[in-house]
C-alpha cells in the first residue's frame, strides 16, 4: 500500500495467500462460484459488508469511506488479489483503491459490450448508484452508440435477494419491471451481482431475452492476472473458503455466514 500505515502490515502478496471476494452482501457469492470453477485450487476469502448494506442507494462519498475502512481490514489480513464483486462499489471506489494499494484489484461493470454487439435494444438492470455514476456513463458512451440501451433502476431488489432470492415477491417485482419489454428488447444485462441469483428464473420465464452478466468476464480476468504474475496455485485438492463479514460476533453473524454457505451451494 502506498504511504501505508504501520498498523496494516502486508507489504506484498504471494502465491499462498487467498483471493478476497468483496460485496456488500450475498451477491458476490455468484462471482465466487464462477471464480472457483476457473480456479479450483485457490483459497478464497469472502467478505460481506452486510452491517452497512445496502450500498446501491448510498452516495459515492459514503461508499468510498466504507471501502477505505473495508480495504484497510482486508489488506491487513493478507490477500494476493481483491475482487470487488459489486458493481456499485466498483463504480464508486475502484479507481481510488487502486491508487492506494499495491495488489491487483479487479472490479465489475455491467456486461454491456457483448450485449450491444449482438442486439439493437438492450435492457440494463442495476442499482440507482451504478446507473448514475460517471463510470456507467463512460461505458455507455464507449460501447452503446450502435444500440438503444434502456437503464432499469431496481430499488429494493438487492434487499429482497438478500432476504430470499426464491421468493414470489421477487418474481412479482420482476414481472412488473420486465413485462412491458417482452418482445421489445433482445438482451437483458444483469448489472448487479445479486441479480445473478435470479438468472435461472429469468431464463425460464423470459426466454425472449438473452441474458448477460459480468461474472465470467471478471473471473477470466482474475485467472489471467494471476497467471501473468506467477500466482496461480497448482494443487490436486480444492482450495478452502474463508467466510467473513462486518457483523460483530454473535448469533446474527453466525446466521448470516450460514446463509452465505447455503446460497453458494444453491448455485451448484
Which of 71, 154, 192, 260 is catalytic? The answer is: 192
Cα–Cα nearest to 83, from 152, 15, 19, 166? 19
CA distance 130 to 116: 18
* Residue 86 is among the residues annotated as catalytic for this protein: yes
Helix (H) or strand (E) holding 107: strand 105-107
- How many Cα atoms occupy the beta-carbon half-sphere of 139 within 13 Å? 22
C-alpha–C-alpha distance, residues 65 and 61, integer Å: 6
Which residues fall within 8 angstroms of residue 21, CB to CB, at 6 or more apart? 28, 31, 32, 35, 44, 45, 46, 47, 83, 85
Q: Which helix (H) or strand (E) holds 242?
A: strand 241-245
Check if 245 is active-site. Answer: no
Q: Work out the angle at residue 141's Cα, subtended by the Cα atoms of residues 136 and 145, and round it to the nearest 5 degrees.
A: 125
Of 61, 71, 50, the residue nearest 129 (C-alpha): 61
Phi first, then psi: what are they for 130, rounded to 5°? -55, -45
Q: Which of 86, 154, 245, 260 is catalytic?
A: 86
By annotation, the residues acting in catalysis are 86, 192
Amino acid at each position: 500500500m502506498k504511504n501505508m500505515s504501520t498498523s496494516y502490515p502486508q507489504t506484498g502478496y504471494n502465491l499462498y495467500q487467498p483471493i478476497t471476494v468483496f460485496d456488500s452482501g450475498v451477491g458476490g457469492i455468484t462471482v465466487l462460484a464462477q471464480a472457483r470453477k476457473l480456479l479450483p485450487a485457490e483459497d478464497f476469502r469472502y467478505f460481506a459488508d452486510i452491517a452497512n448494506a445496502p450500498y446501491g442507494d448510498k452516495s459515492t462519498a459514503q461508499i468510498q469511506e466504507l471501502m477505505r475502512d473495508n480495504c484497510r481490514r482486508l489488506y491487513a489480513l493478507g490477500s494476493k488479489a481483491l475482487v470487488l464483486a459489486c458493481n456499485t462499489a466498483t463504480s464508486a471506489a475502484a479507481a481510488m483503491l487502486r491508487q492506494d494499494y499495491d495488489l491487483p484489484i479487479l472490479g465489475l461493470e455491467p456486461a454491456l459490450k457483448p450485449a450491444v454487439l449482438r442486439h439493437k435494444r438492450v435492457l440494463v438492470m442495476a442499482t440507482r448508484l451504478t446507473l448514475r455514476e460517471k463510470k456507467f456513463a463512460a461505458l455507455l458512451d464507449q460501447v452503446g452508440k450502435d444500440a438503444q440501451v434502456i437503464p432499469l433502476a431496481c430499488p429494493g431488489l438487492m434487499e429482497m435477494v438478500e432476504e430470499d432470492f426464491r421468493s414470489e415477491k421477487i418474481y412479482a417485482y420482476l414481472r412488473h419491471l420486465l413485462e412491458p419489454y417482452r418482445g421489445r428488447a433482445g438482451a437483458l444485462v444483469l448489472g448487479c451481482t445479486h441479480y445473478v441469483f435470479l438468472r435461472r428464473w429469468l431464463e425460464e420465464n423470459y426466454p425472449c431475452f438473452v441474458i448477460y452478466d459480468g461474472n465470467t468476464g471478471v473471473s477470466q480476468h482474475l485467472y489471467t492476472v494471476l497467471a501473468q504474475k506467477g500466482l496461480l496455485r497448482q494443487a490436486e485438492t480444492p482450495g478452502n473458503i474463508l467466510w467473513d463479514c462486518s457483523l460483530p460476533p454473535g448469533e446474527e453473524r453466525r446466521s448470516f455466514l450460514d446463509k452465505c454457505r447455503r446460497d453458494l451451494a444453491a448455485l451448484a
